[in-house]
Copies of this chain bind each other. A is one copy, B any other.
Amino acid sequence: MTDLQPVVDEIYEALKPRLGEGRVADYIPQLAHVDPKKFGMAVVDVEGRVFRAGDSDEPFSIQSISKVFTLTLALGKHGEAIWNRVGREPSGSSFNSIVQLEHEGGKPRNPFINAGAIAVSDLILAGHTPREAIGEIVRFVRFLADDETIAIDPAVARSEQATGFRNFALANFMRSFGILTHPVEHVLGVYFHQCAIAMTCTQLARSGLFLAAAGHNPITGHLVVSKQRARRINALMLTCGHYDGSGDFAYRVGLPGKSGVGGGILAVAPGKASVAVWAPGLNENGNSLVGSLALEMLANRTGWSVFGQ
């Protein structure tokens, strides 16, 4: 496989004039105070080589990118039975919409919108205290990234808890339909903590490498999931990973990806590489504006689109 460092460097240079574009999430102070001109990028190929640019080793709040990891965990614990509690269709609405829940019996459309990820947190709680469930999630992410330093930012978790009225609404609504089976406070305790995990681009790209490499981590040699499950998680990321901008991301970038309001995106080029980008300014759908551009440039230069050369 080719040396991608020149490609990564070129993208960083090309995007420098655009750093700061978009709107930084401001619903909690910890996100609002991030320097909007930050930019990091890390590509880890399936041979384990790492290519980096910018602030690729500065931790940021991964937020909704954590939904990929908790979905993987829940599939490991409950298998395909999780689809009784959450769907796998694009939502056609924003990340925190409650309308769909009322129209469809409280069952969230997919595990990558807030409601769906909260339902997944409930599944991970089965047989655990919230503390144990949070511990399990963190250990799983460390295992994926092969990095014991990854941790939750407690101030972020507290702020999410203090301001997350909309998520409390979603959770109580699902509870009223029996989609959640644990106390709302417990489920959201897990959810808010998973969103508060802080990672660098390099750590994040390593964590997603199993999805590019047919379910196993070629660096550590660990088998994480079966080939089929890796494909299926990638399919969900492609159709649902960018909220109501998923179609646009597929059209422009052509790779499975999952964004977070912290400005990060994890993208997967099956058989090729795992990629993480970070740029705090968001577009109108809540996805990193410059980060999406970086991935579009990378896909164009490498021909990694899953939709053809």
User: Which residues does A use to contact B, with CB under 8 Å?
Assistant: 87-93, 97-103, 109-110, 165-166, 168-173, 175-176, 184, 211-212, 214, 227, 230-232, 234-236, 238-240, 244-248, 250-251, 254, 256, 270-271, 305-309
Contacts known (A231-B254, A307-B238); A184 close to B170, Cβ less than 8 A: no
Residue with the highest number of chain B CB atoms closer than 10 Å, among A101, A170, A236, A307: A307
In the bound complex, what is the Cα–Cα distance between A271 and B231 (angstroms)? 18
In the bound complex, what is the Cα–Cα distance between A254 and B229 (angstroms)? 12
Contact of A89 among B89, B244, B256 (CB under 8 A): B244
How far apart are A181's CB and chain B's nearest CB, in angstroms? 12
The answer to whether B168 touches A172 (Cβ under 8 A) is: yes
Q: A87-B247, A166-B172 are in contact. List 4 more A-B contacts (CB 8 A).
A: A165-B175, A230-B308, A238-B238, A306-B306
How far apart are A244's CB and chain B's nearest CB, in angstroms? 6
Contact of A254 among B211, B214, B235 (CB under 8 A): B235
Residue with the highest number of chain B CB atoms closer than 10 Å, among A98, A103, A250, A309: A250
The answer to whether B172 touches A176 (Cβ under 8 A) is: no
How far apart are A113's CB and chain B's nearest CB, in angstroms? 11
Residues in B whose Cβ lies below 8 Å from that of A256: 307
In the bound complex, what is the Cα–Cα distance between A172 and B185 (angstroms)? 13
In the bound complex, what is the Cα–Cα distance between A168 and B184 (angstroms)? 10
The answer to whether B308 touches A234 (Cβ under 8 A) is: yes
In the bound complex, what is the Cα–Cα distance between A173 and B171 (angstroms)? 11
Residues in B whose Cβ lies below 8 Å from that of A166: 172-173, 176
The answer to whether A247 touches B236 (Cβ under 8 A) is: yes
The answer to whether B102 touches A307 (Cβ under 8 A) is: no
How far apart are A116's CB and chain B's nearest CB, in angstroms? 11
The answer to whether B92 touches A89 (Cβ under 8 A) is: yes
Contact of A169 among B91, B93, B172, B246 (CB under 8 A): B172
Residue with the highest number of chain B CB atoms closer than 10 Å, among A170, A271, A305: A305
Residues in B whose Cβ lies below 8 Å from that of A239: 90, 238-239, 246-247, 250-251
How far apart are A192's CB and chain B's nearest CB, in angstroms? 14
The answer to whether B89 touches A246 (Cβ under 8 A) is: yes
The answer to whether A100 touches B89 (Cβ under 8 A) is: no
Residue with the highest number of chain B CB atoms closer than 10 Å, among A89, A91, A212: A89
Closest to A229 in B: B308
In the bound complex, what is the Cα–Cα distance between A110 and B184 (angstroms)? 28
How far apart are A253's CB and chain B's nearest CB, in angstroms? 9
Contacts known (A110-B247, A247-B239); A308 close to B254, Cβ less than 8 A: no
Residues in B whose Cβ lies below 8 Å from that of A175: 165, 168
Contacts known (A169-B176, A236-B251); A98 close to B102, Cβ less than 8 A: yes
The answer to whether A309 touches B214 (Cβ under 8 A) is: yes
Residues in B whose Cβ lies below 8 Å from that of A100: 92
